[in-house]
Amino acid sequence: MCQTSKTKAILSLLQGCNSLQRFKKIHAHVITNGLQPHPAISNKLLNFCAVSVSGSLPYAQLLFHHHLQNPQTQDWNSLIRGFSNSPSPLQAIFYYNRMLSSGSDSSPDTYTFSFVLKACEKLKARKKCEEIHGAVVRFGYESDVVVCTNLMRSYAGDGLIESAEKVFDNMPERDLVSWNSMISCYSQQGLHHEALKMYNVMRNENLGLDGFTIVGLLSSCAHLGALNTGEKCLITTSEFPFIDTDCLGTSASCHSEKLAITFGLARTPEGTPLRIVKNLRVCRDCHSFTKFVSQAFDREIIVRDRVRFHHFKGGLCSCKDYW
């Protein structure tokens, strides 16, 4: 078998790999056949270990330090991404710093900044976020929508709402994620009137809405007791597209039951009970949110968490707020 065919075969095996044990066998085959230096293969190996659910970050570090002679940007990104999603986000910042000081041809890109800013958000690393902001400008990404949105979230997560606003205001272009993130930032910081103002701006400018917009707004309505605003908000849900249930738990800023409830309100006839199952305990914020929705929209909502069933009706819960 020629080298090209071997490379394609290895890449195909890695594509279908779903366990660390199988991965190690493929890795051994790569070493035996001298394919380790191939950039596509080395990055695929590293990416599996760093990012895949079946991977291993320690094994990814082993590959990175002992098998990559000249790491490329995508290699650094794999490690930074892996650690930003792990219980050790500080390691993501470590590899970001090392990337900048490596002296190689690799330089940070959209993904690098997005991943490391996520780590900063988790750590509430204010000074590091400001330092990365400087690098964003230095490397010419200050107009990148994805980078700016993550920068905004990182600032807001550490309570620097004015810095987040400046980033938002200075964005030459904004997508729906940017607007939703700003609403979420306001809501999380208790600035619920500002969240409602942002929503009104979106409506006046005829911007599209989706489930995350509605969740952010309803969260603020729940805290303010703004029943009428919440009702008007759900009237507009026919304007946003179908929400794939696969996305219900993917947003760090939206608890999945909030989006599930919003989806249910938008897609079921009035008066239909909503039933939601989750494998974690309902948090206090989501509990208050669900009570608000049950009253505002006159719906019975049944939520089963890992502890008990919660029956919400008329702004009250069967647990009497003790669970």
For the stretch 203-221, pLDDT in tens is: 788 777 766 777 667 667 6
- Domain membership of residue 280 (yes or no) is no
Question: What's the mean pLDDT in 136-143?
Answer: 95
Whether 114 maps to a domain, the answer reads yes
Domain assignment of residue 104, yes or no? yes
Q: Is residue 164 a part of any domain in this protein?
A: yes
Instruction: Say whether both 52 and 135 belong to one domain.
Output: no
Other Cβ atoms less than 10 A from the Cβ of 84: the count is: 25
Average pLDDT of the residues in 190-196: 85
Do 89 and 159 reside in the same domain of the chain? yes
Query: Looking at the structure, do residues 15 and 82 belong to the same domain, yes or no?
Result: no
* pTM, two decimal places: 0.70
The total of structural domains in the chain comes to 2
Q: In Å, how far are 112, 145, 160, 161 from 168, measured between CA atoms?
A: 20, 9, 13, 10
Exposure on the CB side of residue 13, measured as CA atoms within 13 A: 18
SS3 of 214, please? helix
Distance CA 38, CA 7 (A): 8
151 inside domain = yes
**Placement of tokens 């019975």 in the chain:** 300
User: In terms of DSSP bridges, do strands 309-313 and 316-317 run parallel, antiparallel, or are they unpaired?
Assistant: antiparallel
Q: What is the CA radius of gyration of the chain?
A: 23
Domain that holds residue 166: 72-170
Residue spans of alpha helices (H) in 171-273: 176-188, 192-204, 211-224, 227-235, 256-267
* Co-location of 36 and 91 in the same domain: no
Average pLDDT (164-179) is 92
Is 179 part of any domain? Answer: no
Same domain membership, residue 104 and residue 40 = no
Give yes or no: residues 157 and 77 share one domain.
Answer: yes
| Pair 29, 106 in one domain | no
Report if residue 54 sits inside a domain.
Answer: yes
More confident residue, 32 or 56: 56
| Residues 86 and 51 occupy one common structural domain | no
Choose the weakest-confidence range: 13-22, 153-162, 214-223, 260-269.
214-223
Residue that finishes a domain, picked among 69, 95, 125: 69
- Average pLDDT of every residue of the chain: 82
Provide mean pLDDT across the span 236-255.
Answer: 42
Is pLDDT above 80 for 268?
no
Q: Which of the four pLDDT bands, split at 50, 70 and 90, describes residue 2? A: low
- Report yes or no: 120 and 156 within 8 Å, Cβ to Cβ: no
pLDDT tens for 68-97 read: 888 999 999 999 999 999 999 999 999 999
With contact defined as beta carbons under 8 Å apart, do 84 and 119 qualify? yes
